[in-house]
Amino acid sequence: MADDNNKVKKIAHILKEIQITLLHFVIFEALINTVLLFLVCYLVLILLGITGIYAGIPALAYLGFAIARKLSSSDVKQVEEKHEILRERLRTIRDNQDQDNFMVQKLVEEVEGKLKVVPISSFFNTKKAVSTILITAVLCFLIITATIFQVKVVDASKAVSYLKNKIIKTTAEKEGSAFGTDATYGDQSKLLALGNNAETITLTGEAGEHDQKLDDRNIATEYPNLGSATQNNEQALNKDEQELIKKYFNEVSKRR
């Protein structure tokens, strides 16, 4: 009786080992294919003049999908498909592990014997692995060549840049960006350009002179028109600029 229990436990252990071994092969195969896909996408992107790092997106997506798909399929069935001598037996053992009767014991003994002649290497597709490695080597060579000689089929970088800006603009319009919109500030690209470069701003005119402290100066004599400065300043600005400023303050007040 103890021997029989040990046999059933042994089969449970063997099934688990099969599962782990198959998992290793699944991950290995998925990784090789992911690398291959990454290299293909990388090559295509650099030929299009686009940064190759974006090739990581489809590669990672494929990796997740491939592993999930392989894991969802029955591991025991995969073993049975490769080895006719184990056909239907492994599944029967797996589904009847908790039963301890004469017939199950005999089946366990039979499967135990048959599993001994099943080599682990039978799950590894050597031909496919070698061909994948060769293709990978060729792709690496092509990528290096294309990078050195800066080979480009089409320069799609401008199109990608335009697309990126369009997406940002659309997102900003939908969410109401802190930087406002074209209606508030005029052309956004100038604002962004301002942020990227160091600019020296020189303030000139009445608003810029702060050589003396204000309390030491006679504001009324030096700035006789200060009371109506806003009005004067407004009149000094053209209509478009006035509209722009009004819209800006409207936007700010809305946010408050």
Partner 1 sequence: MADELKGNYEKVSKTFDALFHEMEKAVIGQREIVEQIVIAILADANVLVEGYPGLGKTMTIKTLARTMDLKFSRIQHTPDVMPSDITGTEIIEEVNGKRFFKFQQGPVFANIVLADEINRATPKTQSSLLEAMQEKQVTVGNKTYKLDPPFFILATQNPIEQEGTYPLPEAQQDRFLFKILMGYPTFEEEVKIAEQYTKKMEQPDIKAVMNKQTVLALQTLARQVPISNDLLERAVKIVEKTRTTPDKIEYGASPRASIGIITAAKARALLMGRNHVSEKDIEYVALPILRHRIILTFEAERKGVTRDDVIKEIVQKVK
Residue ranges that bind partner 1, judged by CB under 8 A: 88-89, 91-96, 99, 101-104, 106-107, 110
Cα–Cα distance for residue pair 173/255, rounded to 1 Å:
15
Q: Give residue 76's identity as a one-letter amino acid code.
A: V
HSE (CB half, 13 Å, CA atoms) of 40? 11
Q: Which is nearer to partner 1, 88 or 215 (CB)?
A: 88
Cβ 178 to partner 1, closest distance in Å? Answer: 60
Minimum CB separation from partner 1 for residue 5, in Å?
16
- For partner 1, the closer of residues 72 and 204 by Cβ is 72
Which of 123, 128, 129, 130 is closest to 25 using CA atoms? 123
37 or 107: CB nearest partner 1: 107
> Which backbone phi and psi does 182 adopt, to 5 degrees?
-60, -35
What is the DSSP secondary structure assignment for residue 51, as one 8-state letter? -
Q: Which is nearer to partner 1, 80 or 251 (CB)?
A: 80
Amino acid (1-letter code) at residue 243: E
Cβ-based nearer residue to partner 1, 26 or 76: 76
- Residue 52 Cβ vs partner 1, minimum distance, rounded to whole Å: 45
Give the whole-angstrom CA distance, residue 111 versus residue 118: 11
- How many CA atoms within 13 Å lie on the side-chain side of 72? 6
Give min distance, CB of 3 to partner 1, in A: 14
CB neighbours of residue 15 within 10 Å:
19
Least Å distance between CB 97 and partner 1?
Answer: 10
